[in-house]
Amino acid sequence: MQNRSQPYLDIIKLSAPIAGIQFAQVALTSADLLMMGLIGVEAVAAGGLAMLLYNQLRTMCVGMVTGVGNMIAAAIARGEKRTGAGAADEIARNEVRDLVRASMLLATIVATFAGILLVGLGYMLGFLGQDPRVADLAQPTMFALAPGLLPMLWLNVLRQFAVGMRRAGSLLRVTIISIGVNIFLNAVFIHGWFGLPVLGLAGIGLSTTLVQVWTFLVYFRTVRRDGALSPLLALDGWRAEPATVMKIARMGTPIALTYGSEAAITSIASIFMGTFGPVALAASNVVNQLAYIVYQLNIGLSHGSSVLVSRAVGKGEQSEVGAIARRSLAISFSAMAVVGVIYVLLPSVVLYPFLGAGADPGVVAAAATLLWFAIAHQFLKGSQNICIGVLRGLGNTKAGLFNTLIGYWLIGIPAMAACGYGLGWGSSGIWFGLCLGFGVTAVLLWWRFTEELRSLMEPPEADGLSRIGPSRYSSQ
């Protein structure tokens, strides 16, 4: 029994810390929204707008360096294969150093550009049809958030470095502590404690930036003290090989666009829901937040399975790839089934933390109906995200972008409009179209994966090189 369960435990062991980190990030954002609510309704509207734009850019920035973990895992696996032992050779170690320094340079460039863009968007809010008062409040908040993109992305480079080395757990503790630090700093800057000026909403943006700096510095110290990570940590980006920077950028660009596309379809669904009135929008926002929280489990499984696939391919163990994917899906579907049962049996309990005892009965009823769609949403979106991860493990990041463009933009968004408005299904139609978009994307992605897996399992070509896999991660 132990031997049969060990492969599942390996996936869970690598995925759980990543999922925990994601849960902590959700808690960080939720704390910010809660503190905005203490200021007032306009602060929630303006702060929510600023955070939405910040998170859109943050998500795409993270996508640019997500593939680094796969590259590092593959490099170490190839080194272990060459030595025939549990330690990588010096060739692999130098390759990892090159990947780290190149990704730090790329992160600096991308985050700087995104920060400038966020500041520019702050100046454009008035021209984008936003209420002048909301724009006036959101602009300084966006200015305060912009510098935080740099330490945030540096932190994600270190995170991918640790994940690729299969030592991801230490960031969870740091992130959890950062939640408490963030809440404290929010209060300090909002109210002007300790003789500091009263910054109000902009103080929440400044707090987020300072927490990003603090988290990066603390985690950097942790990595420097790790005996396995410290010797491979190279931050001298000016010495990075241009070819390595371009390789990371080529792999990261489709991931960044895929992440951006996924965020966009959810935002469009929210805009559609708003046209049916505040009750429908409030119910949708609550259910979407619930689905987003649960989704973090699948993000962890996606990253964990992705690194394990890269490692298997790097060691020439192609037969393990399909098994890793099946095990990850089994874990995901088991967890999603449990959550779905809770939604069905205890909807009022699930919704209470967000709506409270005195909630509008119409909002509660609408949210309870949408929970049924959330069950399908979690299975379909989670499945596609795991598939994107295992495809990334094979070195294929373009499939995720191509198939999400089809599933989201050619199927999902038109279906939302057709079902919500054309067929008169209202808010249920919007969620049906959203689930349909995720479902089509999941089918397309898994079909692509089975094709790549079939190609991977075929005998090598005459020149002795596999058709896919390690060549996509090689340093050549």
Q: What is the pLDDT of residues 203-227, one digit of tens each?
A: 888 888 998 898 889 888 888 888 8
Residue 139 predicted with pLDDT over 90? no
Q: Are 272 and 288 a contacting pair, CB within 8 Å? A: no
The reported pLDDT for the residue numbered 45 is 64
Rounded Cα distance, 186 and 9, in Å: 39
Top mean-pLDDT range of 105-109, 159-163, 375-379, 403-407: 105-109
Average the pLDDT over 116-135 and give the result.
77
Q: Are 164 and 70 a contacting pair, CB within 8 Å? A: yes
The reported pLDDT for the residue numbered 357 is 64
The reported pLDDT for the residue numbered 462 is 47
* Mean pLDDT, rounded, of the chain: 81
Residue 444 predicted with pLDDT over 90? yes
Q: What are phi and psi of 273, to 5 degrees?
A: -65, -35
Give 286 or 150, the one with higher predicted confidence: 150
User: What number of other Cβ atoms are within 10 A of residue 342's Cβ?
Assistant: 14
- Reported confidence tier of residue 129, pLDDT bands at 50, 70, 90: low
The reported pLDDT for the residue numbered 1 is 44
Q: Model pTM?
A: 0.76
Q: Residue 200 in 3-state DSSP?
A: coil
Rounded Cα distance, 404 and 437, in Å: 8
Is the C-alpha dihedral spanning 405, 408, 409, 410 positive or negative?
A: positive
Average the pLDDT over 317-321 and give the result.
81
Average the pLDDT over 302-331 and give the result.
84
Top mean-pLDDT range of 234-238, 296-300, 371-375: 371-375
Tell me, letter by letter, the H, E, C secondary structure of 317-333.
Answer: CCHHHHHHHHHHHHHHH
Residue 359 predicted with pLDDT over 90? no
Residue 467 predicted with pLDDT over 60? no
The reported pLDDT for the residue numbered 169 is 60
User: What number of other Cβ atoms are within 10 A of residue 409's Cβ?
Assistant: 15
Q: Which of 197-206, 274-283, 306-315 has the lowest mean pLDDT?
A: 274-283
Residue type, 408: Y
Q: Residue 116 in 3-state DSSP?
A: helix
Average the pLDDT over 141-166 and give the result.
88
**Which whole-number Å values give the CA distances from 286 to 56, 68, 343, 346, 353, in the listed order?**
20, 34, 13, 15, 10
Of 220, 223, 174, the closest CA to residue 25 belongs to 174
Which string of DSSP letters, residue by residue, matches 215-244?
Answer: HHHHHHHHHHH-TTTGGG----GGG--HHH
- pLDDT by residue (tens digit) across 229-288? 888 888 888 888 899 999 999 888 888 888 888 878 887 887 787 777 767 777 777 787
The reported pLDDT for the residue numbered 128 is 62
- Reported confidence tier of residue 411, pLDDT bands at 50, 70, 90: very high
Of 298, 292, 301, the closest CA to residue 270 belongs to 292
Residue 115 predicted with pLDDT over 90? yes
Average the pLDDT over 171-194 and give the result.
80
| Length of the chain in terms of residues written | 476
Residue 173 predicted with pLDDT over 80? no
Q: Which of 58-67, 326-335, 360-369 has the lowest mean pLDDT?
A: 360-369
